Chain A
Amino acid sequence: EAGVVQSPRYKIIEKKQPVAFWCNPISGHNTLYWYRQNLGQGPELLIRYENEEAVDDSQLPKDRFSAERLKGVDSTLKIQPAELGDSAVYLCASSRTYNEQFFGPGTRLTVL
């Protein structure tokens, strides 16, 4: 089966600019996750969706970050405006059950 698809793979922007990341999960996976991975650290959950519903967004900085998962399939994560500290790898993952998550390759964001 096809894996989790993310785009773009790399993005370089100047601070205060907006940026968006896209994720297409594995077919049939109703749970979708967005993580942020800072250099030298493990992934940290930003938001988790069960179908269309965001069931855990407690770690999402809502002043500048937003996410949506229309129709319970694809998802978009947006940052507006971006700050220097947002430079990181943004990972999308999906799962059918709570236990095993499948990760995409990530989007490496550099904010200048």
Chain B
Amino acid sequence: GDSVTQMEGPVTLSEEAFLTINCTYTATGYPSLFWYVQYPGEGLQLLLKATKADDKGSNKGFEATYRKETTSFHLEKGSVQVSDSAVYFCALSDQDGGFKTIFGAGTRLFVKA
């Protein structure tokens, strides 16, 4: 079945450092890919998405490119801030899977001032 694998955390960075959180997926069809963010005490929020190969999703300085050849959707940000501290979830939704959304385990990010 469909699955999402993302790098284990926690990831600890200093402010203004470069961020990469790796995400790879397996799917039978051509899924849409998502990054969700969960701030402490809050629900998940959609951060960005990409619906087809080579699409780049971007929001709030974060970006991720849908790489079909490597089945990856890595999250990047050039300069992180303390306010970016949160848990980040990679996810996919596949028409072949009835549009069921499959989430990765999440990666916790700590950004130090």
A interface residues (Cβ-Cβ under 8 A, vs B):
3-4, 33, 40-45, 48, 55-56, 91, 93, 98-106
Contact = CB atoms under 8 A, between A and B. Distances in A.
Secondary structure type dominating chain B contacts: strand
26 contacts: A3-B43, A4-B43, A40-B106, A41-B105, A41-B106, A42-B91, A42-B105, A43-B44, A44-B103, A45-B100, A45-B101, A56-B98, A56-B100, A91-B43, A99-B32, A99-B49, A99-B93, A101-B46, A101-B101, A103-B36, A103-B43, A103-B45, A104-B43, A105-B42, A105-B43, A106-B43
Given A45-B100, A99-B49, 12 more contacts: A33-B101, A41-B106, A42-B103, A42-B105, A55-B98, A91-B43, A93-B44, A99-B93, A103-B44, A105-B41, A105-B42, A106-B43
B105 to A, nearest CB: 5
Interface centre among A33, A98, A104 (most CB of B within 10 A): A98
